[in-house]
Each structure stands twice: as structure tokens, then as C-alpha cells.
């Protein structure tokens, strides 16, 4: 019974993590005549595309990242008159040629995500959080699509499931620990093992699907399939 209760704690669960889908492309859509116009539109577009994290985006740091991106944007030949068709490829090429520009705004999003999600990260170690913060932007740049300014999250997570699985598992474990029956049946260590294995398998098999426009914030979860994964893993480690 307890393994079913454990699986049920995930239903309706909201925390999934960083929104790195199409938000970086929010500066596209209109001509940028000056760097100032670009900075204003970039900040407004980024905040509106991820309103969940807007209160946690640091104004000064975000503006500095936007200023650097926009200065490069305006200076690059061909930046005037971009369309929705050729603009994303232009932006991806710019980030790939100047990776520091991408990292600066990506790190702002990572920091905002970790701050906004603090209540769900109790079971992630400080070392894992540091690794996530340091490695995510480096890895996601490698998976930046060349045809549009967004990260191929499904491919990134399939190739590197251990990067995000501690955060995924911590959110799941946080919910599970609120149920007395689950706490009585599983030790904290058992829950950590169960939820981390479940997150890795769910990521690799697409049970957690982050291919939507806003990445994790548009994630689709096959809850029956996730429940089956949780139940099987819980039984595999000897929980009754």
C-alpha cells in the first residue's frame, strides 16, 4: 500500500525546474535600431516569458547580461530586418560564436530557478547544487539548436540524466515526506534512492517530456507510467 501512496504523491506535483525552452529567443520579433531598445525589449520579453521566476531575476545582473547581448546583437551585420524565420538561427549562431553571452543570461535563469524552488530542494546536497549551477549552462550551450534559439532539452537530459535527477527527485521526495504512511514505511535514504532512480528512468524514457516551448515549465508527465516506475523501483529495493 505504501508504494502506491508514494507514487500518488507525484500526481499534480508542480516543481520541475529550470525554464530553458524558448525564453532566450524573446528578444526576437521586431527590428532593433539601438542597443537601448534591445535591452528594454529583452528584459520585458524574458520576464513575461517566465513570469513564475520574474520576481527572482536580479535587475542589475539581468541588465548587464542584456546589455552585453544587445551590444553584440546590434553590431552584428544582418541584425536589422530579421524575421521569425531567420532570427532564431541568427541568435543561435551569435551565442555559439560568443558563448559568454549565453552563459550570462542562462546563469541568471538558473539562479532564479534555484531561489524560486528552494522549498523543493531540501534533498539536494550543496555539492549537487553547485554542480548543477556550474554545469547546466555549459552543457545546455552544447545542445543549443542551430535552427532556432532554444535548447534541445530532451536530448540533453537523455545524455546527462544525473545532472537534473537530484532536483527532480528532491521535489518528489518533498511531497512524499508529507505523507505519514510513506514516512513510516520508507527511510529517508530509501526515498532518495527510489526517487532518483525513478527520475533518471522517467527522463530517459520520455515519461517526463520536456520538449514543450518552455522546457520544464511546459513539461508533460505520463503519471500512470511514472507510478509504475516508482512502484517497481520501491519493490526492487525491498520495500513492502
Under the banding of pLDDT at 50, 70 and 90, the label for residue 111 is confident
Query: At residue 212, does pLDDT exceed 70?
Result: yes
The Cα-based distances of 102 to 16, 137, 148, 168 in angstroms read 22, 8, 14, 24
pLDDT at residue 134 tops 70: yes
Interacting residues of 62 by C-beta distance below 8 A, sequence separation 6+: 43, 46, 105, 108
Residue-level pLDDT at 33? 63
User: What integer pLDDT is reported at residue 179 of this predicted model?
Assistant: 82
pTM score: 0.76
CA dist 239 → 182, 188, 201, 222 (Å): 11, 12, 19, 23
Closest residue by Cα to residue 41 from 76, 74, 71, 66: 66
Please state, in angstroms and rounded to a whole number, the distance separating the CA atoms of residues 129 and 153: 19
C-alpha R_g of the chain = 20
pLDDT for res 203:
87
3-class SS at 39?
helix
Per-residue confidence (pLDDT) for residue 10, from 0 to 100: 41
Cell of 137: 549552462
Task: Give the pLDDT mean for 35-60.
Answer: 74
Q: Tell me the per-residue pLDDT of 144-170, one tens digit each, with 9 for 90 and over.
A: 877 766 788 888 888 988 888 898 889
Query: What value does the mean pLDDT of the chain take?
Result: 77
Q: Are 70 and 39 in contact (CB under 8 A)?
A: yes
Q: Point out the least confidently predicted range of 30-39, 47-56, 59-68, 102-111.
A: 30-39
| Domain residue extents for the chain | 1-17+150-240, 24-116
Give yes or no for residue 2 having a pLDDT over 70: no
CA distance 66 to 138: 19
Closest CA to 139 of 123, 125, 160: 160
For the beta carbon of residue 209, count every other beta carbon within 10 angstroms: 16
When mean pLDDT is compared across 27-31, 134-138, 188-192, 197-201, the lowest value belongs to 27-31
Main-chain phi, psi angles of 32, to 5 degrees: -110, 105
User: Alpha-carbon distance 129 to 19, whole Å?
Assistant: 17
Length of the chain: 240
For the cut 60, the answer to whether the pLDDT of residue 232 exceeds it is yes
Inform me whether the pLDDT recorded for 42 exceeds 60.
yes
Rounded to 10°, the helix 99-116/59-75 angle is 150
Amino acid at each position: 500500500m505504501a508504494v502506491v501512496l508514494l507514487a500518488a504523491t507525484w500526481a499534480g506535483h508542480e516543481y520541475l525546474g529550470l525554464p530553458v525552452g524558448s525564453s532566450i529567443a524573446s528578444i526576437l520579433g521586431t527590428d532593433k535600431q539601438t542597443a537601448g531598445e534591445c535591452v528594454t525589449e529583452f528584459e520585458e520579453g524574458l520576464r513575461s516569458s517566465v513570469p513564475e521566476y520574474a520576481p527572482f531575476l536580479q535587475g542589475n545582473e539581468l541588465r548587464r547580461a542584456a546589455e552585453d547581448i544587445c551590444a553584440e546583437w546590434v553590431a552584428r551585420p544582418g541584425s536589422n530586418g530579421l524575421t521569425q524565420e531567420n532570427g532564431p538561427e541568427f541568435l543561435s549562431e551569435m551565442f555559439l560564436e560568443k558563448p559568454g553571452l549565453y552563459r550570462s543570461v542562462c546563469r541568471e535563469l538558473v539562479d532564479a530557478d534555484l531561489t524560486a524552488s528552494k522549498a523543493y530542494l531540501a534533498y539536494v546536497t550543496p555539492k549537487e547544487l553547485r554542480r548543477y549551477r556550474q554545469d547546466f549552462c555549459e552543457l545546455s550551450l552544447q545542445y543549443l539548436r542551430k535552427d532556432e534559439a532554444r535548447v534541445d532539452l530532451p536530448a540533453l537530459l537523455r545524455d546527462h540524466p544525473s545532472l537534473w535527477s537530484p532536483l527532480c527527485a528532491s521535489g518528489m521526495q518533498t511531497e512524499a515526506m508529507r505523507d505519514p504512511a510513506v514516512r513510516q514505511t520508507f527511510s529517508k535514504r530509501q526515498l532518495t534512492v527510489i526517487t532518483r532512480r525513478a527520475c533518471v528512468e522517467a527522463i530517459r524514457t520520455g515519461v517526463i517530456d520536456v520538449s514543450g516551448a518552455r522546457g520544464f515549465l511546459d513539461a508533460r508527465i505520463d503519471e500512470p507510467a511514472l507510478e509504475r516506475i516508482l512502484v517497481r523501483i520501491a519493490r526492487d529495493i525491498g520495500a513492502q
